[in-house]
A = this chain, B = another copy of it.
Amino acid sequence: MSTAELVKKIAREARAASRLVARLSTDIKNKALHAMADELLKRANTLKKENQKDLEAAEKNGLSKAMIDRLTLSDKVIKGMADGLREVAALPDPIGEVTSMWKRPNGLKIGRMRIPLGVIGIIYESRPNVTADAAGLCLKSGNAVILRGGSEAIHSNRAIAECLSAACALTGVPEAAVQVIPTVEREAVLAMLKLEEYIDLIIPRGGEGLIRFTVENSKIPVIKHYKGVCHVFVDKAADMDKAVNIAFNAKVQRPGVCNAMETLLVHEGVAKEFLPLIHGRYKEAGVEMRGCEATRKILRDITAAKEEDWGAEYLDLIIAIKIVKDMDEAIEHIENYGSLHTESIITENYTNAQRFIDTVNSSSVMVNASTRFSDGHQFGLGAEIGISTTKIHAYGPMGLEGLTTQKFIVYGDGQVRE
């Protein structure tokens, strides 16, 4: 069988399974999630043995220490996968929820009911734990899933998939509900992206290159976020303690993730007071500061920011700092250089807070809070399959609800149209 034929077979089976998965009771779905957790723990030694093959190949291929870290299935990571699946089992089942219902003058009762999307394709890199996480979320939301991990994790992903399939078989869930594409050929991804007949949504998780490749080649709708260039704007009316704490936390607490701040915007009326305060904190933490001209008149020892710094996603202890003359300039800067991810204003001024919330159309807009909260768990969604900066369908952190749509339901009593 050619790679394209293999992928088509997998997708066709996923489509057939999706009809059955959509109708599974909450109870069966939860039992399957717990069984998946059990299997992962029971087969931990096999998982680590298979993972070892990937790790050896990775070292031979000279992958970075960070990459190898992400690739490693330790007992802790395996327990993390199992715990994650049990957490998903504990979440409310979104399927069948009637979100609203109204009555028309002719007596028709019309409502909207949450249903699964059908078949979800997940394309991801390096971290094999995504295999279990994504499978759990898709199953709980009544979808079949096709997982395509990175070639560097192929042995680990196949071993995890075997645990998941075994759990499905044990609990009466169709095995084709969760499938891993078992080949490393890149052709498999291309083949998958053309199967609009069988796959309803593609979610790429990984670097910008992977995401651009996916969007470029997909006939299926893609929910994507390219990058997170998050801003904090310290308004003139900011409380200095809050401003310093938030600007510090948003940059330093975990710089390598998409909801970390990359650019700090400071109102000129408060720059002389605020900048030296944050400068001290950043220096202590080893943050490299790159400022606009006006910033460098106050902080004389920092680097000059270049044009490309304003759109940069450093994912590192580097920050671009710009002084703006007012909130309008801050908003314009965000519109020109932002990535529709997360922006926060620090202010005690009621009107400015509301105007920032109303005007900025990023997927998460905050007042007096660290951008680091932009996350499905932190927002209370219970889980997160990704963060969308595509305005279609889901926008911002996506939990189970992001893997569903709503159909109209109509209860009539014999009505016909005049």
Residues of chain A whose beta carbon lies under 8 Å from any beta carbon of chain B: 19, 22-23, 96, 102, 104, 108, 110, 113, 115-118, 196, 200-201, 215-216, 219, 221, 239, 241-242, 245-246, 248-250, 253-254, 335, 344, 353, 357-359, 361-370, 372-374, 378-380, 390-393, 395-397, 405-417
Closest Cβ of chain B to A15, distance in Å, is 10
Contact, CB under 8 Å: A408 / B102: no
Contact, CB under 8 Å: B412 / A359: no
Closest Cβ of chain B to A18, distance in Å, is 9
Contact, CB under 8 Å: B115 / A410: no
Closest Cβ of chain B to A326, distance in Å, is 16
- Please, how many angstroms separate the alpha-carbon atoms of A173 and B379 in the complex? 36
Contact of A378 among B373, B390, B417 (CB under 8 A): B417
Contact, CB under 8 Å: A391 / B359: no
Contact, CB under 8 Å: A19 / B335: yes
22 A–B contacts from the bound complex (CB under 8 Å) = A96-B358, A108-B369, A110-B379, A113-B358, A196-B215, A239-B414, A245-B414, A245-B416, A249-B416, A249-B417, A250-B416, A253-B416, A364-B409, A365-B409, A366-B411, A367-B411, A369-B416, A373-B415, A378-B417, A391-B405, A395-B408, A396-B407
Contact (A361, B408) CB under 8 Å given A245-B416, A369-B108: no
Contact of A408 among B219, B363, B405 (CB under 8 A): B363
When all copies of this chain in the complex are counted, the total is: 2
Closest to A241 in B: B414
B-chain residues with CB within 8 Å of residue A239 when the two chains form the complex: 414
- Please, how many angstroms separate the alpha-carbon atoms of A196 and B391 in the complex? 12
Contact, CB under 8 Å: A408 / B380: no
Contact, CB under 8 Å: B219 / A417: no
Closest to A362 in B: B407
Closest to A331 in B: B19
Contact, CB under 8 Å: B410 / A373: yes
Closest Cβ of chain B to A389, distance in Å, is 11
Closest to A247 in B: B416
Closest Cβ of chain B to A27, distance in Å, is 15
- Please, how many angstroms separate the alpha-carbon atoms of A390 and B221 in the complex? 9
Contact, CB under 8 Å: A104 / B380: yes
Interface centre among A19, A379, A416 (most CB of B within 10 A): A416
Report, nearest first, the 8 A-B pairs whose CB atoms are least far apart.
Answer: A369-B412, A249-B416, A242-B414, A372-B417, A366-B410, A393-B393, A368-B412, A364-B408
- Please, how many angstroms separate the alpha-carbon atoms of A116 and B358 in the complex? 12
Contact, CB under 8 Å: A246 / B335: no
B-chain residues with CB within 8 Å of residue A414 when the two chains form the complex: 239, 241-242, 245-246, 368-369
B-chain residues with CB within 8 Å of residue A19 when the two chains form the complex: 335
B-chain residues with CB within 8 Å of residue A246 when the two chains form the complex: 414, 416
